[in-house]
C-alpha cells in the first residue's frame, strides 16, 4: 500500500490495482472514524 494513512491516495490508482481495493476499504474505515 502507498501511504495508507492518506485517504486521498485511494482515488489515484487504476481500479484494476488490487491495492486499490484495500485502499478503498481503508478509506471507508477512515470515514467511519477508525
With a CB cutoff of 8 Å and minimum separation 6, the contacts of 27 are 7, 10
pLDDT at 2 over 70: no
Number of domains in the chain: 1
Nearest to 1 by CA among 12, 33, 32: 12
Q: Give the structural domain span for 9.
A: 1-34
pLDDT at 7 over 80: no
Measured in Å, how far apart are the chain's first and last C-alpha atoms? 18
pTM, whole model, 2 decimals? 0.39
CA distance linking residue 7 with residue 9, whole number of Å: 5
Q: Computed over its alpha carbons, how large is the radius of gyration of the chain?
A: 9
Q: What is the pLDDT of residues 10-34, one digit of tens each?
A: 555 555 667 778 888 888 888 887 6
Tell me which residue has cell 481500479. Answer: 15
pLDDT band at 8 (very low <50, low <70, confident <90, very high): low
pLDDT of 19: 76
Amino acid at each position: 500500500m502507498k501511504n495508507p494513512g492518506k485517504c486521498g491516495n485511494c482515488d489515484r490508482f487504476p481500479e484494476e490495482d488490487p491495492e486499490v481495493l484495500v485502499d478503498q476499504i481503508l478509506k471507508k474505515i477512515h470515514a467511519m472514524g477508525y
